[in-house]
Amino acid sequence: MNRLHRSRYITLLITLMTLGSVGGGAAYGETSAVSAQIAVRQTAAVGVGPITLGDIARIRGDDAGGLAALVIREGGDRDASAVTLEDVRAALQEAGVNPAAVTLTGYVACELVRQEEPADAPLAAVAHTASANPTGHAIAAVPVDPVVVQPTLPDQIRAALAAAAGVEPAALIVDWTQRDEATLMGPDMNHMEQAIELVQERLNARPRVLLRPTRDATAAPIELRPTLRQRARAAVLTRAVRRGDLIPADSIELAEVVVPIDARPLSRAEDLVGQRAARALGVGEPVERRDLEVPLLIRRGELITVEATAGSLIIRTVARAMSDGGDGEVVRLRNEGTREEYTATVAARRLARVEVTQD
């Protein structure tokens, strides 16, 4: 995983495109006014039956009832894990909905959470699939241009956060509070230019995001406080390990996990094999470097070899270790002749190196 950016302010100017009218045709008969607003949810609980637009989105407008019954995916598609804006766009176009008649907002993809159907599911399924357009006149079959979906404000904030965190946008999970979600879904939010400002030195699991209207310097910024997580492939344990125990090779597997944005789980099994746990680790838990004890290569009180480098010249001497140290760590050493103390970097078992600066 990439290192996080550490600048004091990360300011990205995002020009938000209007998500409304596309094409010049009239919508729903004689008017070109928006008849429905469709806001795709982040997650939706669905059963084994068909997935409708009402299942995965909030719909407002005169034709909300007809649009809510529009089937996005058939019931047989049990392997689907998400419904995307592309799926919604295709279903609207197939049903003959004029793109100028709807405003699409919300999330680029709605994650599907499968749940068991009740015993009378067949009857519910029959009613569910009766018609994709029960109102008939509400969804008029008119020639349409392809629906163009511009990135929504939540998606643009996600892209800014992903860039700051050094992760792919698809791997980033942004959990909004109820208040923040209501703010982002406001009718005016997708029709203005906003400056997205991340206010902190190091992006953590709950950053402060400020939205500043760029065309109104007097307007107060809007503060959002999302929670950030990320999907990652990591080495996890197949059985619990107690603190101080060695981690055997047969207790490690690689798996897809979701962790806080500032977590750094180890991604290779060989990074864990034979290491000693610094704390108790549970089954399925991703392991970070800090969860492992650093093997000591130098122990306090030992006489060790010190290599002092000055340009191409290497001088070897002996010193007594005044502190413990693992690979790459800095230890305190003492010259037994002069009793002078200094520091060096651990390089191997009973070996430390120090670089002499030449004036």
**pLDDT for res 306:** 95
Confidence check: pLDDT of 331 > 90: yes
Query: Which of 42-56, 108-122, 243-257, 336-350 comes out lowest in average pLDDT?
Result: 108-122
**pLDDT for res 124:** 35
The residue type of 209 is V
* Domains of the chain as residue ranges with CATH: 9-16+167-225 (no CATH), 36-128 (2.60.480), 232-291 (3.90.1210.10), 296-355 (2.30.30.760)
DSSP per position, 295-308: PEEE-TT-EEEEEE
276 and 289 Cβ atoms separated by less than 8 Å: no
Confidence check: pLDDT of 152 > 70: yes
Query: Which of 29-43, 195-209, 241-255, 303-317 comes out lowest in average pLDDT?
Result: 29-43
Q: How confident is the model at residue 273 (pLDDT cuts 50, 70, 90)?
A: confident
**pLDDT for res 2:** 40
Higher pLDDT, 189 or 48: 48
- Which two tokens mark 302? 């030992």
- Which two tokens mark 115? 């749940």
* Average pLDDT of span 169-174: 86
* Average pLDDT of span 159-180: 86
- Which two tokens mark 281? 């680790």
In the chain, what percentage of residues exceed pLDDT 70?
Answer: 73
User: What is the per-residue burial (b if ≥16 Cβ within 10 Å, else e) of 22-31?
Assistant: bbeeebbeee
Tell me the C-alpha distance between 342 and 359, whole Å.
Answer: 19
- Which two tokens mark 231? 């999907």
**pLDDT for res 42:** 82
- Phi then psi for residue 339, to 5 deg, are 65, 15
**pLDDT for res 100:** 67
Tell me the C-alpha distance between 326 and 336, whole Å.
Answer: 22
19 and 87 Cβ atoms separated by less than 8 Å: no
* Average pLDDT of span 163-186: 85
Query: Which of 44-53, 97-106, 233-242, 244-253 comes out lowest in average pLDDT?
Result: 97-106
Confidence check: pLDDT of 203 > 80: no
Helix, strand or coil, per DSSP, at residue 88: helix
Query: Which of 77-91, 191-205, 287-301 comes out lowest in average pLDDT?
Result: 191-205
Tell me what the pLDDT averaged over the chain comes to.
75
| Residue 208 CB-half CA count within 13 A | 10
- Which two tokens mark 56? 């995965």
CB atoms closer than 10 angstroms to residue 145: 13
**pLDDT for res 330:** 92
